Structure formats: structure tokens, C-alpha cells
């Protein structure tokens, strides 16, 4: 079955629209996005890995994690959960930070709204809108391989969902 990966940047609106279908029920996909032991298995494009330092999946809670390169280099990300609709939607504010969760001074911020939908055939669809404060930030993401990394991460998620 096709996964229907859509990645549509809108530079004028400073938004990226992303959607992807998965061959698993929405409950299983939701778990893969909301349990740190599972999300660490797919979120980083290979050969990178992800390590969670803090996980508080509540509105106002924080997910502090690192994308870890093969040389051990860590890129820290801080995601503040701004809204959660159990089983169907998550909103976050994200930024780069240090290992203690302190934002990078003058660093970019993004806002992500993600919806989880059941579709025919006991499958699911995840649809996200990422909004950036600055045009330079969306350009940085686009030039930095964000589309390719997102596609690779979703392929990792396919593998995880098939094995769980």
C-alpha cells in the first residue's frame, strides 16, 4: 500500500504541511508518537539515534531530547506540549536548546499541530502543520534536508509499526 507522503512548504505563510499514511490502526500510531521508548526507535533518521532526557506528556509539560550522531554529537530539542487531545491531536512549541533545556539565545521557534486520523482498511493518517516565526527559519529547515529526514523517520516508523 502507498504511504502518500505529502510535504508542502508555503514560504509566504511560513508553514510546512506534512501528511503521511501508515499501515496500522490510529491507536498504534498514537502510541508510537506518545511513548518515549517507542518514539526513540523511529524519530531520528538513520544512522542517527534519539535519546529522551525529560518526558512529561501533559499540557505545559516538556519533551527534552537529543538527536545523536554517530560521532556522539548531540543536537538538543525542547518541545513544550501546548495542547493534547488524547488519541487524536498534539500541539507543541519547539526550539533548539542545550542539554539542560535552556533555549539557544536567538534560536528559532516552531509551532506544530499534529492530528491522528483513522482511514479505511484499519490504517491511519498523521497530518501536521508546522508554523515558523521567521522566514529565515523555514528556509533553514528546507535547506537542511528536513523533507528527507522527515521521510526517513516515517520509514523508520513503518518498520516499528510492522514489528510491534
Domain of residue 80 covers 6-163
Residue environment code for 107-129, b if the CB has 16+ CB neighbours within 10 A, otherwise e: ebbbbbebebeeeeeebbbbbbb
pLDDT of residue 98: 93
Cα separation of 71 and 39, whole Å? 21
pLDDT of residue 64: 96
Read off the CATH number of the domain in which 143 is found. Answer: 3.30.530.20
pLDDT of residue 51: 96
Number of domains comprising the chain = 1
Query: Residue 70 falls within a domain, yes or no?
Result: yes
* pLDDT, averaged in runs of 10, over the chain (164 residues): 87 96 97 97 95 97 96 94 98 94 89 97 96 91 92 96 90
Query: Residue 1 falls within a domain, yes or no?
Result: no
pLDDT of residue 164: 79
Q: DSSP assignment of 33-55, as one string? A: HH-HHHHTTTSSPTT-EEEEEEE
Amino acid at each position: 500500500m502507498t504511504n502518500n507522503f505529502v510535504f508542502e512548504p508555503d514560504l509566504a505563510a511560513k508553514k510546512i504541511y506534512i501528511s503521511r499514511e501508515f499501515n496500522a490502526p490510529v491507536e498504534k500510531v498514537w502510541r508510537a508518537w506518545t511513548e518515549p521508548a517507542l518514539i526513540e526507535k523511529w524519530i531520528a533518521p538513520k544512522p542517527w539515534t534519539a535519546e529522551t532526557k525529560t518526558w512529561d506528556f501533559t499540557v505545559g509539560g516538556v519533551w527534552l531530547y537529543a538527536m545523536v550522531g554517530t560521532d556522539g554529537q548531540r543536537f538538543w530539542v525542547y518541545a513544550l506540549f501546548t495542547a493534547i487531545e488524547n488519541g487524536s491531536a498534539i500541539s507543541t512549541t519547539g526550539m533548539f536548546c542545550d542539554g539542560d533545556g535552556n533555549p539557544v539565545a536567538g534560536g528559532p521557534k516552531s509551532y506544530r499541530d499534529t492530528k491522528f486520523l483513522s482511514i479505511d482498511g484499519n490504517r491511519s493518517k498523521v497530518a501536521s502543520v508546522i508554523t515558523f516565526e521567521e522566514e529565515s527559519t523555514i528556509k533553514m529547515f528546507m535547506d537542511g534536508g528536513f523533507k528527507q529526514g522527515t521521510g526517513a523517520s516515517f520509514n523508520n516508523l513503518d518498520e516499528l509499526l510492522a514489528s510491534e
